[in-house]
Structure 1
């Protein structure tokens, strides 16, 4: 025997030793030879030889080692090796082992007869305790696939059948309807399926196929998981057992797997069989299938109701981050929404339960609703807000010509303290349900070319390569529905700018581990102070005036000088933020004071504030050059800060007013 074949047999035997336990020995080799040299193995060990060896392995009767196996395999041809192996196993068997009382070899004809007897002796609805008989009902919309499947199972020359389709497309439901389709087509075959979730070894699969009745169909559903086709390398022994068992069985074989895993399956088992693709359902059939799937989910949550908005949302088309198809996708969405509502004690599930972050799908809001929601918090920047919502309205209405791109790529330009960062935070809160959906990057920390490694990770072995949680790609992959804020983008190194070009254009970014983050459901916001000084400069001469149009033109010129055209060309909207007027400052003060009072109320305080206090906080310290930041300082120093004295005295109810042009806080 060639050294390459010996090495291959030893490697396979080592794998069996890991699966069965014990040190590598003769019994592990015997299991391998039962598959690779099947005919010769049966001729030597008999039809029950493999079962006897497996029983010995379960009893942990290990003997022999790698050196012994090499010597045995070098002794001669297959017949000699098997004969010597049978003698060795017999010599080490316990006295009550059946191998002492049986001849070493059983003719293949006798083994086949024993297999048939074993199969016939089992219950009619089960084979070897591994496969259960299917008696499913017909399903609408799958007549084409079921007719083709029945024809392939009737044709003797067709061989095994591969059923492929996207996850959630209804492959399992199709196979459950197969018995009815065969009956209607006049094909007298009984359909059995490997029990879902059962742990079937390669030997079990081989034994099942070899002993299945001649008039049966064996369905191997979810082959991706069983053969680990998603892993590298896949379970080669399982695939080999499938091939060997299919070649020897008189039953018909149907396997099911996801379409994306078909190439790996065909690479392992070329020309395995005919393929039936599970196509997307028509609109009418798809609606019926989705209704059936949703009804099954509701039955699992008795007493729970679903509002109309959630009902529409779960049946919406899949996003790029959802790798399931309907009807399975709709059932998956509804199941999660009902579960989230149930664990918090509610009896009605709403659209807010659809996402893990509690956010509402953007499709539920119209443009004017989003505009109004943003203006509640952001004051004095109506033009900037409307330019943002106009762009987001395209995505919400499914009118985006490039759906793979982010939902919006915006550049917010304006002086400090006018609400650029606050608008980004509000977009995260309104669109995605929480301010926590904001991923903020201070681009002054990316002023060097090596700053790219903080976005996508350094190469393996370098500092930071083992902390992927800090990378932008990991954050977006964990929360694809988010707002990514690139604060002060002009301070980043040009190499960092180039990294974001593919994000703005293709909606993807791959890190050093090969993991790709999808930005298709994200909003990108960049902020910049570029052009602010030029825009605020006074016009020269008597005929020109310092208009908003002139300011935007000067700011645009400054941006074009500082930033490359390929970056500017990928921005959807450049939102110009104007200096805040005293009226806008007063509105912001009202919002901020209300937020501060709500915060204090949650901590046990009762704070009453005069209107004069809000006006005083807005006017004191205001400078157009610094925007609204003075408000936070005033509220913290003059309103919240003065509560320390009352807290020390145990007083929690206070009244704030303006006396002699100053804030006075007294006990309520």
Structure 2
């Protein structure tokens, strides 16, 4: 052996075998067909057909799959890899290998920022030289420097890769990343044929999950009942508005299975089957909403919402009735604008009349806890940086704005915008989009959805009124009760003068709170005293 090594060393023409970059950073999907999430069901037959047709073109044969997180974009590519492996494609694709590249697979070989560009260059060069590779960049946005925290060079190299006639490229992105990339990287639109992967219907999602639940059962060693599948689809569809089927339902089932196994081990018994109740308990823990409210979202608590609110919020009966009516219509799915929040309200009135109290009680009645009240004090958003505070700052992907932080933590909540009259004008367009569309977009391009929230905006009437004589404290003595209606009209006129018409029209209800009478103040005091007694009794 020593002689051979010496001979090799003495022969200057003998070169070492070239190192394969793709072997280190890419995954051959033909070897991972077991990861197909949806079994034998193909949710997007037309999209798969279009994917194959595009790859077979002589030019412009690169594809961008975009769609919501969890919809199954990678599964589509796995489906193509399976068809290639089985020879069910034309001769142009029959000998191809789909090689998946992700940012996590590249990073171990990146010691400094320059290495990132070098590794990608050699991977693309090797793929072109091989001639049998289709490069699949999963989550393309991670390779674009504006979206990955500063690893530069990726965008330029990928643009070059998509111009190679000898190489086919598949990329996938979320919808928000796709819209952002179109603006910042025009080549994404010109060099890649976009194919949108839409959320499957509820019925198709149910069929998919019933087919693939066996994988979860084998992994966790626990049975999943048919009603558990139905409950996972039902609850995830209603409460997880920012994700799509079937991904969000599968994640919920996975979490319920894990919880069932852990519980069984702690009790030293055989794991029971995961049923609808187990799925509901898992969702309850995730959302912080009591199980009974998950089961009763279209039943008792909505029927008794008005009575429960009236028992705690005194002196504002008309306001409470209006709020209850709007909430019932929204929660029962009867609204003609299903994408909007579940009720948008503007509360106007003097201090101390119950505006904040009603918002707090709404959170308790709708979601079981005051923890579901997300409070934003507009006194902190009066400067030029108000929009940045709410939505984050472009170029800082790790730093979310306060809106993203709040709504991602509690997507089902009462969002309370307190003191809107103090806010900087830049806050208005953000809030208006939330009220009208149930969503907004942060500075990194992420879409924030508020479909599961109820939005309450509060304005202090004293800050709207110009005439000092029209201002009042939050209660009236007997001599001033006759002037209440005149004061309400003055406040309404002041609000219409202060706020833009389209802003006021974006609410389901603009509600004026009346000052409290002495009798109402006594009733509120009795409620608070009783609450103190109950807390003391529990100690």
**TM-score interval (norm. to shorter):** 0.5 to 0.7
C-alpha spacing 1:578/1:524, structure 2 compared with 1 (3 Å): same
- Write the distance in 1 (CA, Å) between the matches of 2:322 and 2:429: 23
Q: Does 1:388 align with 2:323?
A: yes
Instruction: Tell me if 1:206 matches 2:124.
Output: yes
Q: TM-score when scaled to structure 1?
A: 0.54
Question: For each residue in 1:517-546, what CA deviation from the matched residue of structure 2 results, as whole angstroms up to 9, or x when unmatched?
Answer: 766635224154656859958899xxxx95
User: How is 1:494-533 mapped onto 2 (pairs within 5 angstroms)?
Assistant: 496=423, 498-507=425-434, 521-526=453-458, 528=460
Q: Establish whether residue 145 from structure 1 lines up as the match of residue 47 from structure 2.
A: yes
| 1:350 and 2:284 are equivalent in the alignment | no
The Cα offsets for residues 131-172 of structure 1, whole Å up to 9 and x where unpaired, read as 35244664323222233333444x462564314121322111
For structure 1, list consecutive stretches of 5 or more residues without a partner in the other structure. Answer: 1-94, 120-125, 460-467, 604-668
Q: Which runs of 5+ in 2 are unaligned?
A: 107-118, 268-273, 391-398, 463-469
Give 1:91-490 correspondences, 5 Å limit. Answer: 101-103=11-13, 130-134=27-31, 135=33, 138-153=40-55, 155=56, 157-158=58-59, 160-166=61-67, 167-182=69-84, 183=86, 185-187=88-90, 189-190=94-95, 192-194=97-99, 199-200=105-106, 201-202=119-120, 205-206=123-124, 208-210=126-128, 212=130, 216=132, 218-224=134-140, 227-228=143-144, 230-231=147-148, 235-237=152-154, 240=157, 243=160, 247=164, 253-259=169-175, 260-261=177-178, 263=182, 267-268=186-187, 272=191, 274-282=193-201, 284-292=203-211, 296=215, 301-303=220-222, 306=228, 310-316=232-238, 319=241, 322=242, 324-335=243-254, 348-350=278-280, 353=283, 356-359=286-289, 364-365=297-298, 367-379=302-314, 381-400=316-335, 407-412=342-347, 418-440=353-375, 451-452=382-383, 455-456=386-387, 479=410, 481-485=412-416
Name which of structure 1's ranges 423-432 and 503-512 shifts more when overlaid on structure 2.
503-512
Q: Partner of 1:157: helix, strand, or coil?
A: coil
SS of alignment partner, residue 501 of structure 1: helix
Aligned counterparts of 2:52 and 2:445: Cα–Cα separation in 1: 42
Distance 2:477 2:374 in 1: 34
Question: Which residue of structure 2 aligns with residue 15 of structure 1?
Answer: none
Decide which moves more: 511-520 or 430-439. 511-520
Alpha carbons of 1:289 and 1:471: their partners in 2 closer, same or farther (altered >3 Å)?
closer
Give the equivalent residue in structure 2 for 1:595.
Answer: 531
Write the distance in 1 (CA, Å) between the matches of 2:515 and 2:305: 21
Does the aligned pair in 2 maintain the 1:289–1:327 contact within 8 Å?
Answer: yes
> Which residue in 2 is equivalent to 1:625?
none
CA contact (8 A) 2:359 2:416 kept: yes
CA contact (8 A) 2:231 2:279 kept: no
Larger Rg: 1
- Residue 342 and residue 524 in structure 1: after superposition, are their counterparts in 2 closer, same or farther (change >3 A)? farther
2:518 and 2:528 mapped to 1: Cα distance?
16
CA distance in 2, matches of 1:583, 1:128: 70
Distance 1:268 1:160 in 2: 14
Taking the TM superposition and a 5 Å limit, the aligned residue runs for 1:580-591 are 582=519, 585=522, 589=526, 591=527
Shift of the alpha carbon at 1:577?
4.3
Is the 1:362–1:396 contact (alpha carbons within 8 Å) kept by the matching residues of 2?
no
| TM-superposed deviation, 1:372 | 4.0
Q: Residues 71 and 245 of structure 2 are in contact (CA less than 8 Å); yes or no, is this contact kept in structure 1?
A: yes
SS at match of 1:315: helix
Q: Residue 383 of structure 2 aligns to a residue in which SS?
A: helix
**In the superposition, relative to structure 1, how do residues 177 and 475 fare at CA in structure 2: closer, same or farther (>3 Å)?**
closer
- Assess if the C-alpha contact under 8 Å between 1:428 and 1:435 holds in 2: yes
In structure 1, what is the equivalent of residue 114 of structure 2? none
For residue 510 of structure 2, what is the aligned residue in structure 1? 573
Cα separation, partners in 2 of 1:427 and 1:210, compared to 1, 3 Å: same
Aligned residues: 464
Distance 1:140-1:554 versus aligned 2 partners, 3 A rule: same
Q: State the secondary structure of the residue aligned to 2:456.
A: strand
Please give the alpha-carbon distance, in whole angstroms, between the structure 2 residues aligned to 1:242 and 1:425.
Answer: 52
2:42 is paired with a residue whose SS is coil
What secondary structure, in the 3-state scheme, does the structure 1 residue paired with 2:207 have?
A: helix
Cα distance in 1 between the residues matched to 2:367 and 2:444 = 28
Say which structure, 1 or 2, has more relative contact order (CA 8 Å, 6+ apart): 2
Per-residue CA deviation, residues 387-446 of structure 1 (Å, 9 max, x unaligned), is 112222343244555667654443445676553322121112233443233344667x57
Deviations 1:93-152 (A, max 9, x none): xx9796862439x9xxxx9xx99xx99xxxxxx999853524466432322223333344
Aligned counterpart, 1:30: none
| Alpha carbons of structure 1 residues 398 and 293: separation in structure 2 relative to 1, 3 Å | farther
Corresponding position of 1:640: none
Q: Select between 430-439 and 479-488 the one with higher mean Cα deviation.
A: 479-488
